[in-house]
Structures are given as structure tokens and as C-alpha cells.
């Protein structure tokens, strides 16, 4: 069937900010969908609050709304744009929920908007646990014994039937928030309560435990003619009990016979038919009892998902693109397989390699939260790796994770441990369980023993056991000296670095003097090399190259080589020389080429913003006629989409892997250079190895980047340029600390290099406080000094993003942070243009930025952070590379900053580009989004350590409206009335007065704790007193729990005060009460509340803003 002509405009809802459970895979799918719809000539309207997405680039949709994704706001967009159809399946749970709500509110009916891709009833049938279960019964598929409850009492009744352990899943939540596994009745009650709270429909599903069963996923695509195909099967190595987003998974399924696989295949398609997903991609999850193959349907997602992004990258089949085309009426046979260019999309991809995904976690950022994995997702990113066998695939994934692993690194905590200790460790579902399994084999445990505890399928365990056995052999005998032996190890996925580490141990020099000697040159080193084969990754590489043991590149073609692929999507492997030299399919071109290194797995601090920059580099350089070559290993990204770059290598970002790619690419054509400045720290860390190998680096030199990061080198440059940094010093004793503090002047910020009890840093105002800190909080000694910085209290922090081509500097944007200096810049809200800085200060920052750009010989992008206090500009840090703020700046000013930077790096002068418009007639506010709710026990407070996972942008004519939008977009719904609780540190008391006054005038009731209350009362404000927690009940936390508080302003200084107020923040988080932990943000919130009501907000597209 051809495309529909009865619709001409389509609204696409994005997924909003990056949060746990909903990351940049939805930018990937949304971008594909928008491109696909535009190709067909539809007018596309997009709403997404996330400025760091490619999909919100103004050239993709016809009308791009960076507005909060709430039903009320989207209703306004619908009223304005009058789309014919709404595609709700590309923006994760956020989009589905929003679309359902719009349907419920009657907005879709009112404006005649048709839901395409999935109808409201199908979404509800898939998402509503009870209806889903009934649907499965109707087609004869077994579900777990279960029941739905809306109250704790109902839940207890269900428990009678299902028994313990019991799985609790709240309805309509992302990544299973609020769910868990209960092993006893007390835990059951607690998890049910949390689940009911988390569910927007106050509903939980209680299920019989399938713990230890095998878990599988099927990615299905169906069209409106009822053609249905399976794109990929995925097998979870982690059995049931760990959220699939937190599980290590492989594709395809490896432990099913065809008969069992076909049962699952037929069942998946039956599920889509029964649920009524007419067109598009869906994901169906199954549990299988390993003892008898009993199959149970767990759930289905009637939309593209994280798993479909993984399946797309694993097979080369662009699920989102195809789903979008199907949604507008095409059938699968009418679409082409873009990878082969010759076959239709109506086929099932078959692969001739093994894909492994390993999630990446960030528990270290959330102290106090246990690192146990459960049915609520906690990972912040993932790595995918491809190998010709499982061993190669899993070892590549481990090194691609960038958590310091070179493979199955040893697990020191279990070295030499007894069976009971190891068994106990294996029984805990923690992020590092795979490494524990490796260590268990080192300690002599058997596959059967490990399987009994972990319920990992013995097939995977035997593969890991095989890797450990090979490691033992290496540790005993050193590296094999022949090509076949070395090739065998490389084909198992061992990195050169891991091989070197293991080989060195064969001569008994692990640790201590021997290892030091091994790293030096000279006779002893030569002797060690002779004995071990090699003592470093470089020597292993040299040996490999001498013996001709080189990786080859194979293509991901969706058809296992049955047809020729036209899309160069590749991975490396080590092949046997079956027909002479191992066959390499890289086939590099003779063009002028530029390699862009991506950012690897998402993590806090390095996420979608950097992928955005890399994608822009690809687009810009391709437009200029260069061949673009992308290297990355993050399956969630747009950068790893098959048509983002000319050539894509899906490989770990390590020295070894990247240098092998460059070797092949340099064999033909001209490699102009590599871009390492766009992907965050990941590619930067490779710069040295690339330079050593004689590979040209485009743009700012790695040495300049290093200079900016080296404390001493940078201090010299600053003094040469006569710029001002906050004073600082290092102390190795109490007396030294007192002397340094006296020199700098109080207040000072103290940071120990060795931390006791999580007490990381403190601001001290006097020598007495300094003494107390040193006596109780830190060990100060020669080995463990204290860093002392001048503390710029209440300073305003600013970010400046600039471009430089060596002869000209252009300021792209100056951002003023809302939170004061001391909060990580990634966690601060900020505005562009600055909302309260005088022009002369801005000019001074721009002057300094220019001086720094020239001094560092920046070629490309640069980010500078300043603090402004009492009219003085202090330089905090300089990063002569792409920063997290680049996409926000680009969206705010309407200029493709990253693209321009990429072209400058490739040699174009800035004068080729129009100057940036600097006087914007509107205000853009960026706000950070936090995952605290996922980490019960951690303190939801802002600090110098970054904790946010994503960001939203609010854009409007005034600061207040833009700020309000940013808060709504970030999920913080500012109240229009009720009770405000205020408790602020002494230095904030004067600052907060106008805010309190505004809220009182607006009709709020204000309560405050003792000191704050008396200060505000002295100012003539009618503020009531409430007990601090330490003052006894009823206290403020009681009131928050009871739902009496609508808004919280709570700032603290000092460790004790922070500890005392933790329960307030946790209660606020649990009660979803908006709270602000800085005075500046509190003031902004009060201003926004009093200036505009949410229902008065207006919507406007980026294209409209830029045109004005």
C-alpha cells in the first residue's frame, strides 16, 4: 500500500531530558523517524524539551518546539499547529503517556488528530497489566501468576496467591521505577507502598517470582497488512530479576533450539496482533524456565525502545525509520533494506557474529545507595561490542565500557577467598557480577557451582571459564611466540594490554620492583621481554604486527553475506587465514577522509551532548566533501546510525582498536586527521597514543588541551596573561594549612586528597573551623595533602563557549548560572543571554576568552568557566574542546556551532561564516535533571560533583517564563499556592527576603525554622516557625510527608547542617515536592511563580524564534 495522502502534517513527541531508562536512544529513533517522514513530504512538527538532541536541530522538523512535554503544553502546540496525526511511538514512555493523556483529555478528538503507529486502546492494552494479562490468556500464552492492586490491602490479598519471593511492578513508570523484589512480608509492604506512589495510576502488579529463569526479548515489526517480522532476538545473560536495561545481553539468542525459538517467534507475532499494534516496532519480553522450557510472556512495549535501538545497531536494520514509514501507510515489502540497497525490508535479519551489551552504572555518584540490581533500572549508559564469537564480543565490551577494564580483570576482593565468601558475593546482583564470575573460576569454582548461585546459563559460564583458562596458561607460559597461538588469543577477544599484563606475570614480576623494571628499558627489560614475550601493550602490538596477526574488518550487512552490502558498517575480528591472508572487507576509499572519535558509553558527565557534537562534525564535514569515518561503541546514539557518517566502525574506543582502524584507513586515500575534541574525555585520552603513532589530530593540539588541564602549567599561562584565578595552595600539615588559608584569606574551600566517611569538602570561615575540620574530617600528611582554594562566596558562575580559527575569536554564547559557584556546572541551571550581568562584565569575560583562545592556539571550540564576585572576573577553568553546553548554545542562538567548529578544524576560516547574532530578543534557560529517585538512600543535594543525567531547555520572551518552562520540563511543577518551607544558611538570609516577600504577596503561607524565621520576621514578613528535625516532632519532615508543603527553599553550609537537612530533601524527593538547595535558584523560582501561571505559558517554535 502506498503512503497515506489523507494526512499531511504529523506531530512527533520526543522523550524529553535524558533520564535513567530513557536515554539518547530516543533521539536516535526520533531523528530517524523525522527524516523518514520528511522524505515522504509530510510537514513534521516536533516537541521535545531536550536541546541536546539532534532531532531538535531546526533543519530536521518543519516546526520544532523546545517546550515541556506535558499534555497541557502539547495541547497548545496542537491548537496552534493543527497536525493531522500524532506519532507517539518514538519518544519512549514519556511520549506514550503524554499521547494517552491528550486522548483522555479529548484534545485529539477536539482537533481531529489521529494517533498513528499505535492507537490509544492498543497502548492501554499493552501497558495496563490486567488487560495485558487477559489478552495473553486469550491467545493461550502463559503469564506469571499475578494480580493487580491499588491499595496495600489488595496487594496483600494477591500475595496469598503468588507467594514470596514476589515481584512488584508499578504501572506506567519508566524503567520500572518504584518496583522491586520482596523476599519477606515487610519488604513486600514497603515496595508496594513505593510502587503505588510511583505509579501515576496508583497501581502495582504483583507477580510470582521467576527469579533465575532465562530472559529473552524479541524485536518485532508489523505493518498494516499484517506482515510481521522479527528483527532480532536478544538473550539476557543476567537471568530474570535484573531489569533488562541493567542486564548483560547478547544477540542473537544462543541457548535455544529452533523449535523453542520458533515458539517464541510465533508467540511474539501473536502478541502484537492481539494487542493491536497495527504498525511499527514493538518489543516482547519472555521468561523461560531453563529446566523445561516453559515460556511466560513478561511484557511488551508497543513502541520503539532501548532494545530496539540495540537491535537496530546489532543487525543494521533501521527499526525506527521503517516504523515511521509503516505508520504512514507503507507495507514492509514496499520498503528497501537500506544496508543492502537491493533487498526489501520485509525479511528477517540474520547475523554472523555475536553482539554483547553491557550496561554502565554510576553508583559511585550516589553515596548511600546500595549497588544492588533489581527490576528498577539504574544504569546510565551501555556499551555494545561485536565479535565473531561470544568471547571476543564480551571482552571487547568490557574494554569498551571505559571503567578501567582491559578484559576480565582480576577481582581483588575475592582473591584467595573461600567458597562461602565467593558464593555470597556471586549471589548479590551487582554491576560487577561478571568479574566476580571470572574470579570465581580463578579461585577454582566449577561452572555448576557458579551456575547454581548466579543462574547464568552454563553456556556463557563455560565461555568465561575458557577465557580464564587461557589467562592461566598465559600467566604460566607468557605469550605464544607464533602467529597461530597469538591469533587464537586475539580471536578470544584479549586486548594487547590484558595480554601484556598476564604475560608479565609469567616471569613472576607482578607488582613491585619487577614490574617497574619491566617498564624500563635496558638489559633487564630485554630479558623480561624474552621470557614473557612482551611486557606492554605496545610490545604485544609490535609482536603481533611482526607475526602478521592483524584484525580484519567484517561488514554488518543484515544478511550474513548472502547479498552484497552497500553500507559500510564494520567491526573488527581476528580470522584464520582460511584462504591465504585473512579476508578484510574494510575496502577503504581513496578519498580525503576525517575520522571522528565518539564518546563511548553514556555516563554522568559525558552523554548525549558530546554525541551531538560528533554527529554535527560528521554532517558538516560530509557537506564539505570529506569522507567521514565514525568510531564509537554506544548503541544508543545517533552517531552510530548507519547513515550519519560515510563509514562506521562499531568498536571500543581504546588505543589498540582505534590504531588498527587507522592503519586500514591510511592504507588508501588520504587521512587528513582525527577529531578527538568532540567526544568528551574518551577520545581525548587517546590523543597521546595517536600522536605517538604519527596520526594527525585536527584542531586544537592535544598539548594545549593538556596545558589547560595541568594545574601548574595552566597557572603559569594565567599569570602570563595577567588573568585572575581564585587563590589556592596545598598543605601537608595543620600549620601549613593555617598559613595557606591566612595567605588566601577566609573563607576557604578545603578538599582532602584522602576522604574519611564521605566528608569530601568544606568551606571554612575561620582558623577555628579549619582546626575542627582538620581534627575530625581528614588525615593531613605528606602523602595526603589538603587542597585549599579561595572560596568565592555567592559568586556568579558563568560559562562562555567560543570558536577560534587562530586569527579570529567568536563568542557563541555567555551563560550565567543560576546556582552560585560551587555547584558543578553540569548540574546548574543557566541562562543565555545572562539574566543579570552588567555589560562590562560580559565584555571582560569575552576579552579574557579571546586572550585565552589565542594563547592556547585554539582551533575549533573552547569553553571557559568564570566566577564573578564584587565586579571581579575570576577564571575557573578552560577546556579547549567541545563542552556539554555546545548543543544548548547552538539551540539558544540558532547557529550550528559544532558544525562550524568542525569546518574550522578542517581548515576553513571563521570569516567564511556569518557572525553570530548576539542580542537575542528572548531568553533560554537550561535546567539539569537528576536521577535521585532511583537511588534511595543517597542525598539529593547539589555539589561540585556532577549528578545530573540530562537537561531541558525553556525558551520564552522573559526570564521568568523561560525559567518556569525549564522547571516544568525538568519535572518540577511549581505551585501557585500552598505552604512554602524556608530554611537557609546565614549568608543567604538577606538574599532570600525578596523571594519570601513575593510568595507572601502571591498568597503563599510561609513557614521557616528558628533562625530563618526570626530573621524574616525581623524584616516584617509574616512567617511561622516550624521545628527542625533535631527539635522534636512534629517537625518539618512530618509536614512534608503529610503533604502539607508545596515548595521548599533549603540551603545549607557545613557538614553538620548538610547532614541534618538530608531527611528534608529525601522527604521532598519522595513526596515530589519541588525543592531548591541554593538561594539563587529559590529566588528565580519565586520570581517565576509570581510572574506567570503555567496555564498562561505560550508555545513558539525554534524556527519562529530564529526568524524573528
Partner 1 sequence: MADPASFRAQPSGATGVLVLADGTVVWGRGFGATGSAVGEVCFNTAMTGYQEVMTDPSYAAQIVTFTFPHIGNVGANGEDIESKVEGAVGCVVREDVTEPSNFRSIERFTEWMVRNGKIGLSGIDTRALTRRIRQSGAPNAVIAHAPDGKFDIPALVKRAAEWPGLEGMDLAIRVTREGGEQWAGGSWSLGKGYGRAAFDAKPHVVAIDYGAKDNIFRNLVKAGARVTVVPAKTGFDEIMALAPDGVFLSNGPGDPAATGEYAVPVIKALLDADVPLFGICLGHQMLGLAAGAKTIKMHQGHRGANHPVQRVGEGWGETTGLVEITSMNHGFAVDAATLPENVEQTHVSLFDGTNCGISIRGKRAFAVQYHPEASPGPQDSFYLFEKFVGGLG
- The contact set with partner 1 (CB under 8 A) reads 225-227, 229-230, 252, 254-263, 265-266, 290-295, 331-333, 343-344, 346-354, 388-390, 457-459, 462-463, 484, 554, 559-564, 575-580, 582-583
Find all residues with CB under 8 Å of 581, minimum gap 6, and list them: none
User: Which residue, 220 or 414, has its beta carbon nearer to partner 1?
Assistant: 220
User: Which residue, 159 or 314, has its beta carbon nearer to partner 1?
Assistant: 314
User: Which residue, 232 or 707, has its beta carbon nearer to partner 1?
Assistant: 232
Question: What Rg do the C-alpha atoms of the chain give, in angstroms?
Answer: 29
Provide the H-helix boundaries in 302-361: 306-315, 319-327
- Beta-strand runs (E) in 598-659: 627-632, 647-650
Q: Is 437 exposed, middle or buried (CB count within 10 Å of its CB: 0-12, 13-18, 19+)? A: buried
DSSP 930: -
Whether residue 393 contacts residue 354, with contact meaning beta carbons closer than 8 Å, is answered with yes
Q: Smallest distance from the beta carbon of 358 to partner 1, in angstroms?
A: 19
Alpha-carbon distance of 307 to 333, in angstroms, equals 24
DSSP 40: T
The number of C-alpha atoms within 13 Å of 911 and in the hemisphere containing its C-beta is 3
User: Which residue, 352 or 1104, has its beta carbon nearer to partner 1?
Assistant: 352
Q: Smallest distance from the beta carbon of 104 to partner 1, in angstroms?
A: 34
Q: Smallest distance from the beta carbon of 229 to partner 1, in angstroms?
A: 6
- 58 three-class SS: coil
Q: Smallest distance from the beta carbon of 434 to partner 1, in angstroms?
A: 17
Alpha-carbon distance of 1103 to 64, in angstroms, equals 7
Q: Which of 390, 346, 706, 373 is nearest to 558 (CA)?
A: 346
User: Which residue, 256 or 328, has its beta carbon nearer to partner 1?
Assistant: 256
Neighbours of 388 (CB within 10 A): 19
The number of C-alpha atoms within 13 Å of 275 and in the hemisphere containing its C-beta is 39
User: Which residue, 432 or 457, has its beta carbon nearer to partner 1?
Assistant: 457
Beta bridge partners of 358: 383
User: Which residue, 60 or 456, has its beta carbon nearer to partner 1?
Assistant: 456
User: Which residue, 577 or 1034, has its beta carbon nearer to partner 1?
Assistant: 577
Q: Smallest distance from the beta carbon of 892 to partner 1, in angstroms?
A: 47
Whether residue 950 contacts residue 608, with contact meaning beta carbons closer than 8 Å, is answered with yes
Q: Smallest distance from the beta carbon of 30 to partner 1, in angstroms?
A: 27
Alpha-carbon distance of 254 to 875, in angstroms, equals 55
Q: Which of 24, 18, 56, 15 is nearest to 887 (CA)?
A: 56
Alpha-carbon distance of 426 to 697, in angstroms, equals 44
Q: How far is CA 1074 from CA 181, 1058, 1062, 1086, in A?
A: 29, 18, 15, 12
Q: Smallest distance from the beta carbon of 120 to partner 1, in angstroms?
A: 26
Whether residue 89 contacts residue 26, with contact meaning beta carbons closer than 8 Å, is answered with no
User: Which residue, 289 or 624, has its beta carbon nearer to partner 1?
Assistant: 289
Q: Smallest distance from the beta carbon of 562 to partner 1, in angstroms?
A: 6
Q: Is 1060 exposed, middle or buried (CB count within 10 Å of its CB: 0-12, 13-18, 19+)? A: middle
Neighbours of 544 (CB within 10 A): 24
Buried-state track 527-538, b at ≥16 Cβ within 10 A, e below 16: ebbebbbbbbbb
Q: Smallest distance from the beta carbon of 1093 to partner 1, in angstroms?
A: 53
Alpha-carbon distance of 722 to 739, in angstroms, equals 25
User: Which residue, 150 or 343, has its beta carbon nearer to partner 1?
Assistant: 343
Alpha-carbon distance of 339 to 654, in angstroms, equals 27
Q: Smallest distance from the beta carbon of 488 to partner 1, in angstroms?
A: 9
DSSP 1096: G
User: Which residue, 333 or 1024, has its beta carbon nearer to partner 1?
Assistant: 333
Q: Smallest distance from the beta carbon of 437 to partner 1, in angstroms?
A: 15
- Beta-strand runs (E) in 656-708: 670-675
Helices 306-315, 319-327: axis angle to 10 degrees equals: 110
Q: Smallest distance from the beta carbon of 393 to partner 1, in angstroms?
A: 10
Q: Smallest distance from the beta carbon of 547 to partner 1, in angstroms?
A: 13
- 861 three-class SS: strand
User: Which residue, 293 or 1034, has its beta carbon nearer to partner 1?
Assistant: 293
User: Which residue, 282 or 1050, has its beta carbon nearer to partner 1?
Assistant: 282
Q: Smallest distance from the beta carbon of 469 to partner 1, in angstroms?
A: 13
Q: Smallest distance from the beta carbon of 87 to partner 1, in angstroms?
A: 23
Alpha-carbon distance of 853 to 805, in angstroms, equals 9
Alpha-carbon distance of 825 to 884, in angstroms, equals 9
Q: Smallest distance from the beta carbon of 390 to partner 1, in angstroms?
A: 7
Alpha-carbon distance of 52 to 884, in angstroms, equals 9
User: Which residue, 564 or 877, has its beta carbon nearer to partner 1?
Assistant: 564
Q: Which of 823, 866, 856, 841 is nearest to 726 (CA)?
A: 866
User: Which residue, 27 or 392, has its beta carbon nearer to partner 1?
Assistant: 392
User: Which residue, 270 or 906, has its beta carbon nearer to partner 1?
Assistant: 270
Alpha-carbon distance of 429 to 425, in angstroms, equals 9
Q: Smallest distance from the beta carbon of 386 to partner 1, in angstroms?
A: 11
Q: Smallest distance from the beta carbon of 896 to partner 1, in angstroms?
A: 40
User: Which residue, 268 or 495, has its beta carbon nearer to partner 1?
Assistant: 268
Does the N-terminal peptide bond of residue 833 adopt cis geometry, omega within 30 degrees of 0? Answer: yes
Whether residue 744 contacts residue 790, with contact meaning beta carbons closer than 8 Å, is answered with yes
Q: Estimate to the nearest angstrom the gap between the alpha carbon of 812 and the chain centroid.
A: 25
User: Which residue, 553 or 963, has its beta carbon nearer to partner 1?
Assistant: 553
Amino acid at each position: 500500500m502506498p503512503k497515506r495522502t489523507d494526512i499531511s502534517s504529523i506531530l512527533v513527541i520526543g522523550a524529553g531530558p535524558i533520564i535513567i531508562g530513557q536515554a539518547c536512544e530516543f533521539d536516535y529513533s526520533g531523528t530517524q523517524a523525522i527524516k523518514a517522514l520528511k522524505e515522504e513530504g509530510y510537514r513534521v512538527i516536533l516537541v521535545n524539551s531536550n536541546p541536546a538532541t539532534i532531532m531538535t536541530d531546526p533543519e530536521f522538523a518543519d516546526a520544532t518546539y523546545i517546550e515541556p512535554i506535558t499534555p497541557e503544553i502539547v495541547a497548545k502546540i496542537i491548537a496552534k499547529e493543527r497536525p493531522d496525526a500524532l506519532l507517539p511511538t518514538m519518544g519512549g514512555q514519556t511520549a506514550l503517556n503524554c499521547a494517552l493523556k491528550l486522548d483522555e483529555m479529548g484534545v485529539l478528538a477536539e482537533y481531529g488528530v489521529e494517533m498513528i503507529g499505535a492507537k490509544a486502546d492498543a497502548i492501554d492494552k499493552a501497558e495496563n497489566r490486567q488487560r495485558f494479562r487477559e489478552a495473553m490468556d486469550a491467545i493461550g500464552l502463559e503469564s506469571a501468576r499475578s494480580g493487580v492492586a491499588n491499595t496495600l490491602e489488595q496487594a496483600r490479598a494477591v500475595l496469598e496467591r503468588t507467594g514470596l519471593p514476589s515481584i512488584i511492578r508499578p504501572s506506567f513508570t519508566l524503567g520500572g521505577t518504584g518496583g522491586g523484589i520482596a523476599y519477606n512480608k515487610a519488604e513486600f509492604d514497603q515496595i508496594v507502598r513505593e510502587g503505588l506512589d510511583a505509579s501515576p495510576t496508583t497501581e502495582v502488579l504483583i507477580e510470582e517470582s521467576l527469579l533465575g529463569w532465562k530472559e529473552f526479548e524479541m524485536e518485532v515489526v508489523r505493518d498494516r497488512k499484517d506482515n510481521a517480522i522479527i528483527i532480532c532476538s536478544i538473550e539476557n545473560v543476567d537471568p530474570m530479576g535484573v531489569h533488562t536495561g541493567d542486564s548483560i545481553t547478547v544477540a542473537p539468542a544462543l541457548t535455544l533450539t529452533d523449535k523453542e525459538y520458533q515458539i517464541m517467534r510465533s508467540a511474539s507475532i501473536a502478541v502484537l496482533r492481539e494487542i493491536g499494534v497495527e504498525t511499527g516496532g514493538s518489543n516482547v519480553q519472555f521468561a523461560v524456565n531453563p529446566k523445561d522450557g516453559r515460556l511466560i510472556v513478561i511484557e511488551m512495549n508497543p513502541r520503539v525502545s532501548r532494545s530496539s535501538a540495540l537491535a537496530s545497531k546489532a543487525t543494521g536494520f533501521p527499526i525506527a525509520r521503517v516504523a515511521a514509514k509503516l505508520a504512514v501507510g507503507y507495507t514492509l515489502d514496499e520498503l528497501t533494506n537500506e544496508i543492502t540497497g537491493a533487498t526489501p525490508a520485509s525479511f528477517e535479519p540474520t547475523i554472523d557474529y555475536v553482539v554483547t551489551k553491557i550496561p554502565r552504572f554510576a553508583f559511585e555518584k550516589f553515596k548511600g545507595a546500595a549497588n544492588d540490581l533489581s527490576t528498577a533500572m539504574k544504569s546510565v549508559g551501555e556499551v555494545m561490542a561485536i565479535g565473531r564469537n561470544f568471547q571476543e564480543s564480551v571482552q571487547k565490551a568490557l574494554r569498551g565500557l571505559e571503567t578501567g577494564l582491559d578484559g576480565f580483570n582480576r577481582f581483588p576482593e575475592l582473591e584467595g577467598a573461600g567458597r562461602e565468601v565467593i558464593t555470597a558475593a556471586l549471589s548479590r546482583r551487582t554491576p560487577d557480577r561478571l568479574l566476580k564470575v571470572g574470579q570465581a573460576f580463578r579461585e577454582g569454582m566449577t561452572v555448576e557451582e557458579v551456575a547454581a548461585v548466579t543462574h547464568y546459563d552454563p553456556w556463557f559460564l563455560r565461555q568465561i571459564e575458557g577465557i580464564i583458562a587461557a589467562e592461566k596458561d598465559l600467566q604460566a607460559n607468557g605469550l605464544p611466540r607464533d602467529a597461530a597461538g597469538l591469533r587464537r588469543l586475539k580471536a578470544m577477544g584479549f586486548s594487547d594490554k590484558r595480554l601484556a599484563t598476564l604475560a608479565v606475570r609469567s616471569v613472576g614480576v607482578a607488582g613491585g620492583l619487577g614490574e617497574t623494571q619491566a617498564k624500563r628499558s635496558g638489559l633487564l627489560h630485554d630479558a623480561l621481554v624474552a621470557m614473557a614475550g612482551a611486557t606492554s601493550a605496545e610490545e604485544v602490538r609490535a609482536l603481533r604486527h611482526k607475526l602478521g596477526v592483524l584484525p580484519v574488518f567484517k561488514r554488518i550487512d543484515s544478511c550474513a553475506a548472502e547479498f552484497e552490502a552497500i553500507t559500510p558498517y564494520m567491526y573488527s575480528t581476528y580470522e584464520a587465514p582460511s584462504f591465504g591472508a585473512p579476508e578484510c572487507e574494510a575496502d577503504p576509499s581513496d578519498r580525503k577522509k576525517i575520522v571522528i572519535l565518539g564518546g563511548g558509553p553514556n555516563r554522568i558527565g559525558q552523554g548525549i551532548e558530546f554525541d551531538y557534537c560528533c554527529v554535527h562534525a560528521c554532517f558538516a564535514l560530509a557537506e564539505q566533501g570529506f569522507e567521514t569515518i565514525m568510531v564509537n561503541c554506544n548503541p544508543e546514539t545517533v552517531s552510530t546510525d548507519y547513515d550519519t557518517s560515510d563509514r562506521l566502525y562499531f568498536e571500543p574506543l581504546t588505543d589498540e582498536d582505534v590504531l588498527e582502524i587507522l592503519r586500514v584507513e591510511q592504507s588508501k586515500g588520504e587521512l587528513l586527521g582525527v577529531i578527538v575534541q568532540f567526544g568528551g574525555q574518551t577520545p581525548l585520552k587517546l590523543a597521546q597514543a595517536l600522536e605517538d603513532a604519527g596520526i594527525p589530530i585536527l584542531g586544537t593540539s592535544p598539548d594545549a588541551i593538556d596545558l589547560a588541564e595541568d594545574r601548574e602549567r595552566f597557572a603559569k599561562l594565567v599569570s602570563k596573561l595577567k588573568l585572575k584565578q581564585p587563590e589556592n595552595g596545598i598543605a601537608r600539615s595543620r600549620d601549613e594549612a593555617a598559613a595557606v588559608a591566612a595567605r588566601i584569606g577566609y573563607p576557604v574551600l578545603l578538599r582532602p586528597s584522602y576522604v574519611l566517611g564521605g566528608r569530601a569538602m568544606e568551606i571554612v570561615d575561620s582558623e577555628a573551623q579549619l582546626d575542627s575540620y582538620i581534627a575530625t574530617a581528614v588525615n593531613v600528611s605528606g602523602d595526603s595533602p589538603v587542597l585549599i582554594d579561595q572560596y568565592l562566596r555567592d559568586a556568579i558562575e558563568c560559562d562562555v563557549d567560543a570558536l577560534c580559527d587562530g586569527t579570529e575569536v567568536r563568542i557563541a554564547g555567555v551563560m550565567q548560572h543560576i546556582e552560585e559557584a560551587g555547584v558543578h556546572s553540569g548540574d546548574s541551571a543557566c541562562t543565555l543571554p545572562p539574566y543579570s550581568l552588567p555589560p562590562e562584565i560580559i565584555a571582560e569575560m569575552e576579552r579574557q576568552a579571546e586572550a585565552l583562545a589565542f594563547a592556547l592556539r585554539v582551533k575549533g571550540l573552547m569553553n571557559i568557566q568564570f566566577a564573578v564576585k564584587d565586579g571581579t572576573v575570576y577564571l575557573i577553568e578552560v577546556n579547549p574542546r567541545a563542552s556539554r553546553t555546545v548543543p544548548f548554545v547552538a539551540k539558544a542562538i540558532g547557529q550550528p556551532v559544532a558544525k562550524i567548529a568542525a569546518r574550522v578544524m578542517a581548515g576553513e576560516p571563521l570569516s567564511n561564516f556569518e557572525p553570530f547574532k548576539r542580542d537575542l530578543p528572548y531568553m533560554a534557560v537550561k535546567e539539569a535533571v537528576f536521577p535521585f529517585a532511583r537511588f534511595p538512600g543517597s542525598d539529593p543535594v547539589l555539589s561540585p560533583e556532577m549528578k545530573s543525567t540530562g537537561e531541558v531547555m525553556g525558551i520564552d520572551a522573559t526570564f521568568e517564563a523561560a525559567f518556569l518552562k525549564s522547571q516544568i520540563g525538568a519535572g518540577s511543577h511549581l505551585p501557585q499556592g500552598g505552604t512554602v518551607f524556608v530554611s537557609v544558611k546565614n549568608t543567604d538570609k538577606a538574599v532570600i527576603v525578596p523571594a519570601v516577600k513575593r510568595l507572601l504577596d502571591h498568597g503563599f503561607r510561609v513557614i521557616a525554622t528558628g533562625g530563618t524565621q526570626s530573621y524574616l520576621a525581623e524584616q516584617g514578613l509574616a512567617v511561622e516557625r516550624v521545628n527542625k528535625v533535631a527539635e522534636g516532632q512534629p517537625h518539618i519532615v512530618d509536614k512534608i510527608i503529610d503533604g502539607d508543603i508545596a515548595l521548599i527553599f533549603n540551603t545549607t553550609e557545613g557538614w553538620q547542617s548538610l547532614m541534618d537537612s538530608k531527611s528534608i530533601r529525601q522527604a521532598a524527593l519522595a513526596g515530589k515536592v519541588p525543592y531548591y538547595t541554593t538561594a539563587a535558584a529559590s529566588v528565580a523560582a519565586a520570581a517565576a511563580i509570581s510572574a506567570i501561571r503555567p496555564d498562561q505559558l505560550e508555545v513558539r517554535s525554534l524556527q519562529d524564534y530564529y526568524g524573528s
